[in-house]
């Protein structure tokens, strides 16, 4: 889908989900990957902020995922979404945005350097006022599902094709 249409499509989809959430109360978690696309649009960012604020009333948990927290910090709705979150996970951060991240999350200098030097799966987990350094190690199956490494994706695809040929 073209970039110009992506935020509109995400808005329509989340609006549909939001209507369903309000109609049928039960515990749910809405995960929005590449949430930065919604933050680029004033209307979509405002809607996401509203979901973050009102979701608990409808048993809705909201998880937003982005490669660069700066995408959120540039939006007037981003900081309130972050501060309204009960939990956050920060992984490796760019040196160009680390000072803003440090100010927003009240990081110590040690935490700032941890995020700049972090390896894959390393970062800081925040729960309320508590935060701790973490290292996330995916199982083999999880790694196969979530990888974005093109060489791994190609190897997985070739292995599946080879299996299909054998049967």
Average pLDDT over residues 97-116: 92
Average pLDDT over residues 141-165: 86
Instruction: List CB contacts of 140: < 8 A, sequence separation 6 or more.
Output: none
- Of residues 125 and 163, which shows the higher confidence score? 125
- Of residues 8 and 112, which shows the higher confidence score? 112
Q: Which of 59, 7, 60, 54 is nearest to 30 (CA)?
A: 60
Q: Which residues of 99-125 are buried (b: 16+ CB within 10 A; e: fewer)?
A: eebbebbebeeebbebbeebeeeebbe
Is domain 1-85 classified as CATH 3.30.1330.10? no
Position 17 scores a pLDDT of: 86
Measured in whole angstroms, the distance separating CA 142 from the mean position of its chain's CA atoms is: 17
pLDDT band for 92, please (50, 70, 90 cuts). Answer: very high
Position 161 scores a pLDDT of: 86
């Amino acid at each position: 889908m073209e970039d110009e249409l992506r935020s509109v499509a995400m808005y329509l989809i989340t609006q549909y989900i939001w209507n369903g959430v309000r109609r049928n109360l039960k515990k749910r978690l809405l995960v929005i990957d590449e949430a930065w696309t919604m933050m680029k649009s004033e209307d979509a960012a405002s809607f996401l902020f509203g979901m973050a604020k009102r979701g608990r009333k409808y048993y809705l948990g909201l998880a937003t995922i982005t490669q660069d927290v700066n995408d959120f910090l540039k939006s007037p709705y981003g900081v309130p979404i972050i501060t309204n979150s009960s939990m956050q996970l920060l992984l490796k951060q760019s040196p160009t945005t680390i000072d803003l991240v440090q100010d927003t999350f009240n990081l110590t200098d040690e935490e700032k350097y941890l995020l700049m030097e972090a390896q894959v799966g390393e970062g800081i987990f925040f729960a309320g006022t508590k935060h701790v350094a973490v290292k996330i190690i995916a199982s083999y199956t999880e790694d196969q599902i979530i990888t974005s490494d093109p060489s791994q994706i190609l190897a997985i695809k070739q292995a599946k094709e080879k299996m299909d040929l054998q049967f």
